[in-house]
Amino acid sequence: MQLTGPEIKRQMNLLNPCNPDGKPNIVIEPFFEKCLGSNSYDLHLGSTLKVYKSTIPEGMLPALPCTKPLKDYSMRDWFSTWTAFERYKKSPWLFDVANPSFALNPCTPKETVTIEIPRDGLILSPRFGYLGNTVEYTETYNLFPYIDGKSSVGRNFISVHETAGRGDDGFCGNWTLEITVKQPTIVFPNMRIAQIYYEKFEGDRKPYHENKASHYCGQREPTAAAAIPVDEFIQKQR
């Protein structure tokens, strides 16, 4: 059963002695009444993005600050030097996302490049995936939280998560967003980017913040993927 907007606010004001420090079941910081919807709360994009370094071709820029009218941009702007742009024109396959040299290995740690989003906006490329975060820090207890993009965000063909929009009872932190765009798209710090919803659940609790195997509790900035384990015990039992 999904909580309504008024119930979300009510849960934020009810202290629960069973929660850490007696906190309410829902914590949203900062909270603004105007962002409370019919059955969700609007979340905002933080000012920092991260891109996996291994996915960026040499000489190519993963994003562009908005410093001139859009009509004055060209493909040349995606490259840090004229030489890199000439390489792209002569050998475009070297910069193609399908090039196996840019493959991600989900089972190993990854190095990232940090990008600040200027107040005047940042142009994202459909070539890259971006890790962002919400301005809002949230804590959820005794409820199931999940996020999704706002409808206007979706209608601009911006995706804010890749199957990872579901949270956990006991999750505490800013939400990491896995952002992709269908075409070059401008984003701004503090723009409304997503909505958080809450549902009730049944059964015994296994809170995320008490699980030693949890990777992301307490995260505040865009957080790269933890290495996905390869469970050898499955092979042994086959």
- In the chain the first and final C-alpha atoms are separated, in Å, by 39
Which member of 178, 199, 221, 232 is catalytic? 178
Residue 189 carries which DSSP code?
T
d(Cα 159, Cα 101) in Å, to the nearest integer? 25
| Nearest partner of 31 among 19, 42, 45, judged by Cα | 42
d(CA 21, CA 65): 43
- Regarding beta strands 158-159 and 122-124, do their DSSP bridges make them parallel or antiparallel, or are they unpaired? unpaired
Q: Is position 210 annotated as part of the catalytic site? A: no
Per-residue tokens: 44: 């905002």
- The DSSP 8-state label assigned to residue 17 in this structure reads T
Catalytic residues: 178
